[in-house]
Amino acid sequence: MILNPGEAAVLIVRRSKTEPQKYFFAVRTSMNSTFDTGKDFEIGSPQRAVKELQERADVDQALHEAFEAIKNLNS
């Protein structure tokens, strides 16, 4: 997948509400992303999943997989 001009890629790390030892990881791209006046980043819709990892406790391995997906965005 190629990241086009103006698009953004984000890494989402979310801790599980029901199983706090597990985390959800995703790499997504969005065509509609902006910076507001305070320079806060806003990701819009639609979003495309580049990599979605099920909830897991092995944070290091999940981050490794997510970063590999990010590195391969423009290859």
Instruction: Convert the pLDDT of each residue in 20-56 to its tens digit.
Output: 999 999 999 998 888 877 778 888 888 899 999 988 8
Cα–Cα distances (Å) from 43 to 11, 29, 30, 56, in that order, read 11, 9, 6, 25
At 43, the amino acid letter reads I
Contact present, 21 and 57 (Cβ < 8 Å): yes
pLDDT at 18 over 80: yes
pLDDT (mean) for 5-23: 90
Mean pLDDT of the chain: 88
Contact present, 64 and 71 (Cβ < 8 Å): no
Confidence of residue 12 (pLDDT cuts 50, 70, 90): very high
Contact present, 54 and 66 (Cβ < 8 Å): no
